[in-house]
Homo-oligomer: A and B are copies of this chain.
Amino acid sequence: MIAELVFVGTELLLGQILNTNAQFLSQKLSLLGIDNYYQVTVGDNPARVAETLRQALSRADVVITSGGLGPTQDDLTRDVAAEVTGRPLALDSALAAELEGWFRQRGRRMSDNNLRQCLVPHGATVLPNPNGTAPGLVVPAAENKAIILLPGPPNELRPMFDNQVVPYLTGRMDGAPLMLVTRTLRFVDIGESLLEDRLKDIISEQQDPTVAPYAQLAEVHLRLATKAASVEAGLARILPLEERIRERVGKYLYGLNETPLEEAVGQLLRERGLHLTAAESCTGGLLAKRLTDVPGSSDYFVGSFIAYANAAKTGLVGVPAELIAAHGAVSEPVAAAMAEGALNRLAADIALSITGVAGPGGGTATKPVGTVCLGLAARPGAAAGKPGHGPAEVRTLTLQLWGSRRDVRERSAQNALALLRRYILGQ
């Protein structure tokens, strides 16, 4: 079955709202194994909505719309769908009584406008809306096709889709529908083009499951996807392919599906019983924020320092003022001293540090915006899960990052987590 999505609303074309219905409906259709080739957004203009619905009906079995079912004059999806399918509108008196009750219950008066929401195209099925005043509609069209009209507000559209449209769609599909089964492999420390290069033959030969790389901020995702009757049947085809990929680039594979790097690294710390701290300058708390985004991160994250001003680098984590004067605050010696200082001030086994020029100001000829130094200090033997006494093991590196202030900060935190991952895994 092929579905096409049509989003109706001038407010979308003006950018006044972010279209989250598109992502929601896309995900749901893909889980149901329903193909979707086009999505069209169009304003509150009857001729253009009609043209869009006609074209959508010509290339899909089911057209799903959102928006334009409200009580006002510019809500015209219902009228246009009636016109396009040749089904005249009539007032549904049961619906009108129900709507009147809805308003009475809330102590509000129903306006005449609301009666527009009780007009139903001949032969259409009404989808009750427990969360608002606009019911949904399934309007039959020629060639056993249909237009499904849904309200625009996500809190009305989502339950209506899940509870009423899904049963309708699965009822229409013949046989056991195929579902899309996907598995996302998440890589760090390798770029998109290099990853693709290493897997060139697999990616180009592979038809089913498909393999598609997606570049993210300082990481790359590889999505393996196949259609199958069940998740198990899909995974049975995906896992052998994953194994082939792991053999080549498993070193860079840090996690699966929705697992972000902070969660994967947190799991490594938890498995080894290690505790982490940090001293952040240019990221100003972003690293700690990401670590504590993960529920249960108190198992391995104790606390940390935001040493933003130079005075805080000295005052909070004991970086000697002379060291800053000699090398600059953005330097590997200072990064090392920040990490060692943090490690010595908290009962932790490993400390990360970040100091850099996030921009837009503050760059110099020798240290332009994007220059970032990372440090890691660890109790000897920490990587093996056996932290001992004696001088800390220290690693430092300098990165030249790019992009906006936000990008530089995000990439810095990401690279610090990647440094920690390499250290723990002995890479």
Contact = CB atoms under 8 A, between A and B. Distances in A.
29 contacts: A11-B214, A13-B37, A14-B180, A15-B22, A15-B26, A15-B29, A16-B27, A22-B41, A37-B45, A39-B42, A40-B41, A72-B193, A106-B402, A111-B197, A112-B197, A159-B404, A284-B291, A284-B293, A285-B286, A288-B306, A289-B289, A295-B360, A298-B309, A301-B309, A302-B308, A304-B306, A306-B306, A311-B346, A315-B345
Interface in A39-56: 39-43, 45, 48, 52
Interface string A290-307: 011101111001111111
A177 to B, nearest CB: 15
Nearest to A315: B346
Contacts of A192: 70-72
A74 interface: yes
B71 A359 contact: no
A302 B284 CA distance: 10
A194 interface: yes
Contacts of A73: 203-204
Contacts of A315: 303, 345-347
Contacts of A36: 13
Interface in A337-361: 345-347, 359-361
Contacts of A130: 402
A215 interface: yes
Given A72-B192, A74-B212, A108-B191, A39 B23 contact: no
A213 interface: yes
Given A15-B24, A306-B303, A39 B40 contact: yes
Interface residues of A, number: 112
Interface of A: 10-20, 22-30, 36-43, 45, 48, 52, 70-74, 105-114, 130-131, 133, 153, 155, 159, 180, 182, 191-194, 196-197, 203-204, 212-215, 217, 223, 280, 282-289, 291-293, 295-298, 301-309, 311-313, 315-316, 345-347, 359-361, 400, 402-407, 409
A111 B199 CA distance: 12
A361 B286 contact: no
A194 B14 CA distance: 25
B111 A296 contact: no
A298 B307 CA distance: 11
A196 B71 contact: yes
Nearest to A10: B212
A147 B360 CA distance: 32
A342 to B, nearest CB: 10
A303 B308 contact: yes
Nearest to A22: B19
Nearest to A158: B404
A351 to B, nearest CB: 13
Contacts of A110: 193
